[in-house]
A and B are shown apart, each in its own frame.
Chain A
Amino acid sequence: GAGVSQSPSNKVTEKGKDVELRCDPISGHTALYWYRQRLGQGLEFLIYFQGNSAPDKSGLPSDRFSAERTGESVSTLTIQRTQQEDSAVYLCASSSDRGGYEQYFGPGTRLTVT
């Protein structure tokens, strides 16, 4: 079946502009995660959605970052007033249950802020 997909694959934006990144999880997966990977570093947790529960936003680095998910479908990560330090690969993952034993990752969106 189809894996996790993300769009766009690459995004170049000017400092100060807003960007929106999209994630389509694997169908039927109730849990969805966003992570950020800066160059040469591991992944940082950003936000977690589980079904219709309130999301865990504890990893969002500032109030310029927000994310939404409608039900158990698509999620969007929005970064307002982008800064150069926001440049990174943003990865989305989904898993089939609350335990999240197997998180399947999308290919990521590479964001470059100039």
Chain B
Amino acid sequence: GEDVEQSLFLSVREGDSSVINCTYTDSSSTYLYWYKQEPGAGLQLLTYIFSNMDMKQDQRLTVLLNKKDKHLSLRIADTQTGDSAIYFCAESWYGGATNKLIFGTGTLLAVQP
């Protein structure tokens, strides 16, 4: 099936680290993504990781990939109130002539001042 699962909600205090988790289904996915959606806005690509990597770091963001368990996580260091948003993980799916992203249902991150 094509189910990407995420926990629905995460609450952290400003300055703490946030870890958002995701499990995906397709072991052949080449790329895995994290998108951020702020209220009333479109999706912003935060980062992505190639499936042959275990970790990718980009400033305050760290992505960890456990391909064996099909588990992806996003760690945000020193979380700020501006990080409050919905975070979606997505896996790439290639089939024949097509290419699409399969999205999780999103994790609402609430940052308490």
A-to-B contact residues, CB < 8 Å: 4, 31, 33, 35, 40-45, 48, 50, 53-54, 56, 58-59, 91, 93, 98-108
* Alpha-carbon distance A102/B50, docked complex (angstroms): 12
Do A104 and B101 touch (CB < 8 A)? Answer: no
Do A43 and B48 touch (CB < 8 A)? Answer: no
Do B98 and A42 touch (CB < 8 A)? Answer: no
* Interface size range of chain B in the complex: 20 to 34
Do A43 and B101 touch (CB < 8 A)? Answer: yes
Give B90 Cβ to nearest chain A Cβ, in Å.
8
Do A42 and B106 touch (CB < 8 A)? Answer: yes
Q: Which residues of B contact A42 (CB under 8 A)?
A: 4, 88, 103-106
Q: Which residues of A contact B35 (CB under 8 A)?
A: 105
- Over the window 27-61 of chain B, the binary record of Cβ atoms lying under 8 Å from chain A Cβ atoms (1 yes, 0 no) is 00011000100000111110010000000000000
Give A66 Cβ to nearest chain B Cβ, in Å.
17
Q: Which residues of B contact A58 (CB under 8 A)?
A: 98
* Alpha-carbon distance A105/B42, docked complex (angstroms): 6
Do A56 and B31 touch (CB < 8 A)? Answer: no
Do A108 and B100 touch (CB < 8 A)? Answer: no
Give A41 Cβ to nearest chain B Cβ, in Å.
6
Do B106 and A105 touch (CB < 8 A)? Answer: no
Q: Which residues of B contact A105 (CB under 8 A)?
A: 35, 42-45
